[in-house]
């Protein structure tokens, strides 16, 4: 004898959640939280990099303005540590100043113009960012 199954018994009961419903809901929530947290980390990381780049530019402007104020003979490559202490540049920043003569081989120009290359860098999560500026220092006659 064949037992008749009522159509109403095949429809899902509305009495509660099934295990599949809970697993799917948990998966969707986990994906959503993962996407939001990775987005927040990227924004936080970009914010830190932007702030550090802004600080590098500010330090570079301060150093170059001070180099403009000092005499031609005082400008040399060993000024980096002086400026790090003078402007209280934090330890994470590296300041490098290279000074060379502008007119190598040109007799009259060589002793009156110096090229100042200023490089400020920092390292954040094994990624080094640099800010470089070049300026001429002309001897006052």
Q: What tens digit of pLDDT does each residue of 32-78 get?
A: 999 999 999 999 999 999 999 999 999 999 999 999 999 888 888 89
Encoded tokens for 74: 């005082």
Which residues, 6 or more positions from 59, have their beta carbon under 8 angstroms from its beta carbon?
87, 89, 93, 95, 120
Q: What is the pLDDT of residue 106?
A: 66
Nearest to 100 by CA among 61, 140, 62, 136: 136
Sheet-wide strand order for 113-124: 93-101, 113-124, 127-138
Domain ranges of the chain: 18-138
How much is the pTM?
0.72
């Amino acid at each position: 004898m064949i037992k008749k199954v009522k159509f109403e018994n095949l429809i899902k009961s509305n009495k509660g959640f099934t295990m599949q419903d809970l697993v799917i809901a948990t998966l969707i929530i986990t994906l959503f939280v993962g996407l939001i947290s990775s987005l927040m980390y990227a924004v936080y990381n970009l914010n830190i990099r932007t702030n550090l780049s802004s600080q590098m530019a500010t330090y570079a402007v301060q150093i170059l303005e001070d180099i403009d104020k000092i005499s031609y003979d005082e400008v040399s490559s060993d000024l980096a540590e002086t400026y790090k202490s003078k402007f209280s540049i934090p330890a994470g920043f590296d300041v490098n100043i290279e000074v060379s003569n502008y007119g190598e081989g040109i007799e009259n120009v060589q002793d009156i113009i110096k090229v100042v290359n200023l490089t400020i860098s920092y390292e954040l999560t094994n990624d080094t960012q640099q800010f470089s500026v070049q300026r001429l220092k002309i001897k006052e006659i």
